[in-house]
């Protein structure tokens, strides 16, 4: 979710996670940010977002749009999150095509490496209703939800975005933090579920197996990302991660505490679970689909499992911050990437879940094997299991993160 300020992968880990383009997973980089900064979520960054005067409204912070006379656009995104020309990695083919089609000149910068870090970069400007010098920013669900809650994002005119309104995956419509799909446009998505190494254990199909099976004792890791670990446990208890009570959260945290006390869980990790799983140092874990796709390419014995009780769906979302001066240009840009053919070109490079309906059919013409991969193009059965974590109030975020950090020993 992206969050996250863990250190980057070691050379050994990077080798184990190597993909066809010899680059780190974008989700790995993003997820790698949380451990060192986890307490900041419940402390500095979270507290700062609730300071007096931070809240804005459409009336209190009015943004002017100069798109009609200024055909430019400034985009901030995560690294390795758009297609590149394999012969010249400074070129991004879909972006070049967009500029040629629209006449809009795009300054595309890969300057988001951590949700909290980026929040710190723009917090003072957005609190004061000042420009961030960015027209589009891409942040993970929970951070997008926080900034929408603070009134820091501009409402999009989706009537001017026919591809988006037509092609957004049904599973990503009406999310708790953006029920009318008017602030956050999913750029890419992924799943948090279970994974196991079939060389060292029999299959692990449920969260209860992961947390209680005797043969797995001390050979399990779970994620330091509260929304993913707790979302899966909530679902395993028969509760909806997108709509739960405090009592239900407490039941789930107690379940996790029992597993910790019993020595079932070796430790809580960021992306560093991946090389351990690949080597068989751990047998099973809670993990992310993007990592497991890459490990599975190296060793098909490493498998991702979507428990029947539910799997967590996360997205990185494109939004237009207050005082961005090119909202209409941004709407054209985002709608362009919801053309299924364009979306398939991006998905062929980044290998995360494509949020665009129709892109799978377009992908079949590019790479039939990728089109058949359910972790890039989930089928209806998998999507029906997918849950988005509840949008938390500031007080809930502080309380639930604090309880989780206590259990995991952060």
Same domain flag for 142 and 167: yes
Give domain status of residue 65, yes or no: no
How many C-beta atoms surround the C-beta of residue 258 within 10 A? 13
Same domain flag for 210 and 307: yes
Same domain flag for 401 and 293: yes
Q: Is the pLDDT of residue 379 over 90?
A: no
Give domain status of residue 29, yes or no: no
Same domain flag for 110 and 163: yes
401 token code pair: 């993160």
Give domain status of residue 383, yes or no: no
Same domain flag for 182 and 195: no
Same domain flag for 319 and 288: no
Using 50, 70 and 90 to split pLDDT, how confident is the model at 410?
low
State yes or no: cis peptide before 4, omega within 30 of 0.
yes
The residue segments making up the domain with residue 294 are: 190-313+391-408
Lowest mean pLDDT among 140-144, 292-296, 374-378: 292-296
Give domain status of residue 180, yes or no: yes
Same domain flag for 182 and 194: no
Give domain status of residue 202, yes or no: yes
- pLDDT, greater one: 57 or 79: 57
Lowest mean pLDDT among 127-136, 231-240, 270-279: 270-279
Residue 1 to residue 236: CA distance in whole angstroms: 21
CATH number of the domain bearing residue 320: 3.40.190.10
Give me the mean pLDDT over the 113-139 stretch: 93
Q: How long, in residues, is the chain?
A: 410
According to the model, what pLDDT value does residue 46 have?
42
Same domain flag for 174 and 204: no
Number of domains in the chain: 2
Give domain status of residue 329, yes or no: yes
Same domain flag for 273 and 218: yes
Using 50, 70 and 90 to split pLDDT, how confident is the model at 53?
low
Q: Give the residue among 208, 215, 304 at the shortest CA–CA distance from 256.
A: 208
Give me the mean pLDDT over the 104-126 stretch: 92
Residue 73 to residue 104: CA distance in whole angstroms: 7
Give domain status of residue 382, yes or no: no
Same domain flag for 220 and 304: yes
The number of angstroms, rounded, from the C-alpha of 68 to the middle of its chain's C-alpha atoms is: 33
Q: CA of 292: how far to CAs of 34, 70, 373, in Å?
A: 19, 43, 12
Q: CA of 369: how far to CAs of 250, 357, 358, in Å?
A: 42, 18, 16
According to the model, what pLDDT value does residue 52 have?
53
Give domain status of residue 64, yes or no: no
What is the reported pTM?
0.76
Same domain flag for 115 and 254: no
Question: Per residue in 186-208, pLDDT tens?
Answer: 999 999 999 999 999 999 999 99
Mean pLDDT of the chain: 87
Same domain flag for 286 and 329: no
Q: Which residues 6+ apart lie within 8 Å of 395 measured at CB?
A: none
């Amino acid at each position: 979710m992206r969050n996250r300020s863990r250190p980057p992968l070691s050379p050994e880990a990077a080798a184990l996670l190597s993909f066809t383009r010899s680059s780190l997973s974008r989700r790995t980089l993003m997820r790698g940010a949380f451990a060192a900064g986890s307490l900041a979520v419940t402390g500095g960054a979270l507290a700062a977002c609730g300071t007096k005067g931070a809240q804005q409204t459409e009336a209190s912070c009015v943004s002017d749009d100069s798109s009609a006379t200024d055909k430019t656009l400034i985009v901030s995104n995560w690294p390795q999150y758009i297609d590149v020309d394999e012969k010249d990695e400074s070129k991004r083919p879909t972006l070049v095509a967009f500029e040629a089609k629209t006449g809009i000149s795009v300054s595309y910068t890969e300057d988001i490496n951590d949700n909290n870090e980026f929040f710190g970069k723009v917090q003072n400007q957005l609190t004061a209703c000042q420009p961030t010098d960015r027209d589009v920013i891409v942040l993970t669900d929970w951070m997008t939800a926080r900034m929408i809650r603070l009134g820091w994002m501009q409402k999009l005119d989706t009537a001017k975005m026919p591809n988006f309104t037509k092609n957004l995956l049904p599973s990503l419509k009406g999310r708790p933090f953006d029920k009318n799909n008017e602030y956050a446009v999913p750029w890419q998505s992924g799943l948090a579920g279970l994974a196991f190494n079939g060389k060292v254990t029999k299959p692990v199909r449920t969260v209860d197996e992961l947390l209680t099976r005797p043969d797995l004792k001390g050979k399990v890791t779970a994620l330091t990302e509260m929304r993913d670990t707790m979302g899966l446990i909530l679902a395993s208890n028969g509760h909806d991660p997108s709509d739960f009570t405090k009592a239900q959260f407490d039941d789930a945290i107690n379940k996790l505490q029992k597993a910790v006390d019993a020595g079932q869980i070796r430790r809580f990790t960021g992306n560093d679970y991946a090389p351990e799983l690949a080597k068989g140092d751990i047998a099973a874990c809670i993990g992310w689909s993007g990592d497991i796709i890459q490990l599975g390419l190296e060793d098909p014995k490493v498998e991702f499992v979507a428990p029947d009780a539910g799997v967590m769906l996360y997205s990185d979302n494109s939004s237009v911050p207050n005082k961005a001066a090119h909202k209409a240009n941004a709407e054209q840009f985002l709608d362009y990437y919801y053309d299924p053919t364009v979306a398939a070109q991006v998905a062929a490079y980044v290998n995360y879940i494509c949020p665009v309906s129709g892109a799978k059919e377009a992908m079949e013409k590019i790479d039939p094997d990728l089109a058949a991969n359910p972790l890039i193009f989930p089928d209806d059965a998998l999507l029906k299991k997918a849950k988005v974590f509840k949008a938390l109030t500031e007080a809930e975020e502080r309380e639930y993160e604090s309880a989780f950090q206590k259990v995991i020993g952060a």
